[in-house]
Structure 1
Amino acid sequence: SSVEKLECEIEVVIRSMENLYHILQDKGITLDTDYT
């Protein structure tokens, strides 16, 4: 269904954002807002 496809796409976006966040942390860059 389209809902399952949407959930899958959201999961991909979240995962890529987490990867980006970890990359920024590795470079010593921390965001002002603390996402935990």
Structure 2
Amino acid sequence: DAVTDNGVAKVNGQMVDAPVITRARNLLARQAALS
């Protein structure tokens, strides 16, 4: 699935509001980039 910057996750073609998941994934991505 893909997550957009505005906190909406696209799951199986449906737009789902998922700001918490988005923030968590962004944090994980930053940590991975720093490591």
Query: Larger Rg: 1 or 2?
Result: 1
Whether 1:4 and 2:20 are equivalent positions in the alignment is yes
Q: Which runs of 5+ in 1 are unaligned?
A: 20-36
More strand by share: 2
Runs of 4+ in 1 over 6 A off after TM superposition: none
Total equivalences in the alignment:
19
1:16 paired residue number: 32
More helix by share: 1
- RCO higher in 1 or 2 (8 Å CA, sep ≥ 6)? 2
Identity %: 0
